[in-house]
Amino acid sequence: MDTYLLDWANLLLRWTHVIVAIAWIGSSFYFVFLDNSLTAPEDPALKEKGVGGELWAVHGGGFYNPQKYLLAPKTIPEHLHWFFWESYSTWLSGFALFTVVYLFNASNFLIDKTVHAWSPAAAVAAALGFLAAFWVVYDLICRWVGERKGAVGGDAIVGALVLLYVVGAAWLACQLFAGRAAFLMVGAMLATAMSANVFFWIIPGQRKVIAQMRAGLAVEAIHGQRAKQRSVHNTYFTLPVLVAMLSNHYGWLYQGPHNWLVLVLLMLAGALIRHSFVVRHKALVQGQRVPWEYAGGGTVALLALSIWLAPAAPTAAELAAVPAQVHFSDVKAVVDQRCVLCHNAQVQNKNVALHTPELIQQHAQQMYQQAVVLKQMPMNNATQITDAERGIIKRWYESGAPAN
């Protein structure tokens, strides 16, 4: 029953997380598009009001005319819509899901003893520290380098330092945690920084600016500069975060000896593709050439990864290790040794039991998908299944999963 209730918690939290993440990412993408698509108003009345840019759009049968003020309207409305709950809800639901799936099951999901053998408590502490440490170092980079007065190329230097730190964090995560957990951990640390940017700097800065305006005080420019910097970072983090989160469904991504490099290239491809769309908006408004080469670079990186990770043709020795004709008894011997430990009458991970011939037949397709195609099972290969044994399951299933 405990496993069943955890599965329900997993489903509902995952569903919630996806919904609020769509809301956050959607609003973020929209405002980046809006900022880069505004044109100077021609109407003298708008200029008089202090409008610096506007956009005409049509959607759902209606016309829209969003306007952006150079600083603020002459009179600040009493009721303003604040975009922050999308961010907070995404992080809170994501952290809750991370807790249910990974922290409560650290021995199964966080730890791969062939990578680093340590206790569940130590792994959990390290995972939480990983999230906090990235935010602290990232924030220091942004403030010490990005906000130095007179710094030449400050944004570029910040970007380079953050990139190096992400690469180092990806490498370290893959040396400490199971590959699946390491990929998700790197995505979670970036997502934590994104939400922390909103919580610690963007929203508080906007509140201070509005308070200064209403009090008739001079507005401190640092608040707007900082909010813009962190908002730009957030939009570039988005696609790397998403691919890191989705990667745990594809075992062939994170099981190799250079999995950290796979993750870095995946995230780099996402950042390049996102940059292409960011600069595209501005290029179209200014009548300039759209620099698709950034998206092209990201696509080339993905293509190179697909070639690099393509499974090699089985060697003669590997082919010889798989019987030409596989019988059910061969499959059952593999399942009994490699799978039944976690899928039996007492322990039924994912509500799958494999301790009888009938149950093996019933779950033949799931076994094939998880152990052969995706190579996600056994989890972190805890039972040391071999490629030859995966080959036995493959040949048996593809021959119709006979019961004899």
2-48 pLDDT, tens digit per residue, is: 677 878 888 999 999 999 999 999 999 999 999 889 999 999 999 98
Say how many C-beta atoms besides its own lie within 10 A of residue 214's C-beta.
11
Tell me the pLDDT tens digit for each residue of 353-402.
888 989 889 998 988 888 888 788 888 777 888 888 888 888 888 888 88
For residues 372 and 339, give the distance between their C-alpha atoms in angstroms, rounded to a whole number: 13
pLDDT at 379: 80
**Cβ pair 131, 119 in contact under 8 A:** no
Residue-range domain boundaries for the chain: 2-308, 316-398
pLDDT at 1: 44
The amino acid present at 249, given as its one-letter code, is H
Closest CA to 166 of 271, 257, 21: 271
Position 262 pLDDT exceeds 70:
yes
Q: Which residues does 388 contact at the CB level (< 8 Å), separation at least 6?
A: 318, 321, 322
For residues 285 and 156, give the distance between their C-alpha atoms in angstroms, rounded to a whole number: 24
pLDDT at 135: 97
Q: Which residues does 170 contact at the CB level (< 8 Å), separation at least 6?
A: 182, 186, 260, 263, 264, 267
- Mean per-residue pLDDT over the chain, rounded: 89
Its pTM stands at 0.85
Kindly state the percentage of the chain with pLDDT values over 90: 51
Kindly state the percentage of the chain with pLDDT values over 70: 97
Tell me the pLDDT tens digit for each residue of 316-365.
776 677 777 888 888 888 888 998 888 988 877 777 888 898 988 999 89
Position 49 pLDDT exceeds 60:
yes
Mean pLDDT of 54-79: 90
pLDDT at 280: 87
pLDDT at 150: 47
DSSP for 126-145, please give it.
HHHHHHHHHHHHHHHHHHHT
30 vs 34, 35, 309, CA distance in Å?
6, 9, 35
For residues 378 and 32, give the distance between their C-alpha atoms in angstroms, rounded to a whole number: 42
pLDDT at 370: 87
pLDDT at 318: 67
Say which residue the tokens 């099951």 belong to.
105
